[in-house]
């Protein structure tokens, strides 16, 4: 028999408003939205809790954190994938684009090649239906690398690559214009400082000169071949945004300045910012604060980045900042789903995929009371 769940007497977060009502899930689909406080026989009384679509996460490094919980530690991959999947479900994320770096530097032995093998293991688990939520791939294509083209060619249209980001972490520009911030970051991550840091910077700059332009061209071509959305990353100037728009990019990840965010708006690019940036009140790299862009209405999508639990918290904070809870939650539901072409989710409406979360507030913080993915309770 097809499983049916009714979530009643709830505050429903719809596309443009919040109302009191109920949601009926039948199998993997939302079958009906009704208004009112009635609790039919057999229904779950939500006691006024919020119900909204499951969260859609476009950029998270969380899987990498599980694979390598400490420097030089390679955790068993199946265990890491399952732990990552369960963690995201527990935070209300029901669709994730797992960010995997492609473009390694074998000569430096600092950025190993891992994405192809890891994605195969991920899809094996998906085929066995042991994953709680929906997974797609987000290939972070690092143009300042040695093996990017070779690694891009390892993926095909069957690999559920939904997003490809043009990444350029050459020192002295974009995210790390402030070299002191970069040195602090690499000291903590790789133990680099002093002469070692300077040598690393010189090597990366030389690599960008040799390979960067070719890698950028090949990444744009690969995204089209894979049928994936192409995104820019850390655009800093209006000129960089203009180039991104020229590639057909419609999603800008983490622009670093107000000027770049404004240019994104002018060129029709959706702006995504990090939830930790919003919660912390600023960027750890010294770049523009997410709240500043929110105040200017230059922010469309939030990403949990490196803290999965930050996604729901940041969205409700935006709802408070804007005085519109529905609009705040759109940044983690409807808008990210639409920008990557997932028209079956992101809204509480009849016919949508039955991805739903339930939460209430404790001391101003949203606390989850239930997560359903494809109509099945997963947290």
Domain harbouring 369, CATH code? 2.30.40.10
Provide, for the chain, the percentages of residues in helix, strand and coil under a 3-state DSSP scheme, each rounded to the nearest 5. Answer: 40, 25, 35
Beta carbons within 10 angstroms of residue 72's beta carbon? 5
Q: What is the domain-level CATH number for residue 257?
A: 3.20.20.140
Asked if residue 67 and residue 39 are part of one domain, the reply reads: no
Q: Are 278 and 318 within 8 A, CB to CB?
A: yes
Q: Are 124 and 135 within 8 A, CB to CB?
A: no
Number of domains in the chain: 2
Whole-angstrom distance, CA of residue 296 vs CA of residue 298: 5
Confidence (pLDDT) at 205 = 73
Element (H, E) at 33: strand 29-35
Q: Is the pLDDT of residue 16 over 90?
A: yes
Q: Is the pLDDT of residue 185 over 60?
A: no
Q: Is the pLDDT of residue 116 over 90?
A: yes
Report the share of the chain in percent with pLDDT over 70: 91
Asked if residue 117 and residue 90 are part of one domain, the reply reads: yes
Beta carbons within 10 angstroms of residue 322's beta carbon? 16
Task: Point out the least confidently predicted range of 130-134, 172-176, 226-230.
Answer: 172-176
CA-to-CA separations, 63 to 86, 100, 135, in angstroms, rounded = 11, 8, 11
Asked if residue 225 and residue 194 are part of one domain, the reply reads: yes
Asked if residue 230 and residue 376 are part of one domain, the reply reads: no
Asked if residue 191 and residue 223 are part of one domain, the reply reads: yes
pLDDT in tens, 253-279: 999 999 999 999 999 999 999 999 999
Asked if residue 27 and residue 137 are part of one domain, the reply reads: no
pTM over 0.85: yes
Domain range for 12 is: 1-53+346-379
Asked if residue 246 and residue 275 are part of one domain, the reply reads: yes
Asked if residue 359 and residue 255 are part of one domain, the reply reads: no
End-to-end alpha carbon distance in the chain: 22
Asked if residue 208 and residue 118 are part of one domain, the reply reads: yes
Asked if residue 153 and residue 170 are part of one domain, the reply reads: yes
Asked if residue 151 and residue 193 are part of one domain, the reply reads: yes
**Secondary structure of 60-87 in HEC code, one letter for each residue:** ECHHHHHHCCCCCCCCCHHHHHHHHHHH
Computed on alpha carbons and rounded to an integer, the radius of gyration of the chain in Å comes to 21
Tokens of 279: 């919660």
Q: Output the CA angle 164-170-171, nearest 5 degrees.
A: 140
pLDDT in tens, 27-76: 999 999 999 999 999 999 999 999 999 999 999 999 999 999 987 889 99
pLDDT in tens, 304-315: 999 999 999 999
Q: What angle, rounded to 10 degrees, do the helices at 179-190 and 194-226 form? A: 90
Asked if residue 359 and residue 317 are part of one domain, the reply reads: no
């Amino acid at each position: 028999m097809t499983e049916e769940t009714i979530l009643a007497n709830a505050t429903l977060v719809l596309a443009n408003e919040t109302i009191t009502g109920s949601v009926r899930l039948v199998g993997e689909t939302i079958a009906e939205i009704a208004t009112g406080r009635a609790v039919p026989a057999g229904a779950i009384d939500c006691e006024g809790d919020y119900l909204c679509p499951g969260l859609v996460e476009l950029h998270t490094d969380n899987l990498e954190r599980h694979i390598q919980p400490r420097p030089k530690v390679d955790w068993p991959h199946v265990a890491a994938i399952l732990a990552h999947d369960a963690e995201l479900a527990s935070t209300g994320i029901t669709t994730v684009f797992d960010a995997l770096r492609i473009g390694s530097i074998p000569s430096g032995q600092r950025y190993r090649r891992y994405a192809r093998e890891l994605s195969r293991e991920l899809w094996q688990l998906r085929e066995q239906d042991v994953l709680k939520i929906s997974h797609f791939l987000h290939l972070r294509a690092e143009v300042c690398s040695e093996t990017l083209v070779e690694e891009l060619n390892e993926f095909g249209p069957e690999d559920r690559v939904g997003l490809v980001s043009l990444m350029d972490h050459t020192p002295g520009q974009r995210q790390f214009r402030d070299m002191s911030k970069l040195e602090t970051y690499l000291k903590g991550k790789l133990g680099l400082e002093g002469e070692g840091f300077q040598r690393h910077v010189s090597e990366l700059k030389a690599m960008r000169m040799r390979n960067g332009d070719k890698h950028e061209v090949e990444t744009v071509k690969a995204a089209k071949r894979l049928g994936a959305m192409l995104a820019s990353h850390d655009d800093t100037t209006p000129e960089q945004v203009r180039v991104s728009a020229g590639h057909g990019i419609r999603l800008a990840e983490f622009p670093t300045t107000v000027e770049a965010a404004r240019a994104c708006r002018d060129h029709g690019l959706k702006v995504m910012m990090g939830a930790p940036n919003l919660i912390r009140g600023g960027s750890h790299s010294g770049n523009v604060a997410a709240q500043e862009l929110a105040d200017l209405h230059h922010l469309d999508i939030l990403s949990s980045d490196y803290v999965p639990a930050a996604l729901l918290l940041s969205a409700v904070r935006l709802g408070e900042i804007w005085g519109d809870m529905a609009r705040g939650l759109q940044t983690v539901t409807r808008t990210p789903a639409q920008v990557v072409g997932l028209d079956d989710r992101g809204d509480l409406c009849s016919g949508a995929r039955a991805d739903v979360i339930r939460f209430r507030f404790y001391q101003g913080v949203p606390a989850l009371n239930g997560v359903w993915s494809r109509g099945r309770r997963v947290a």
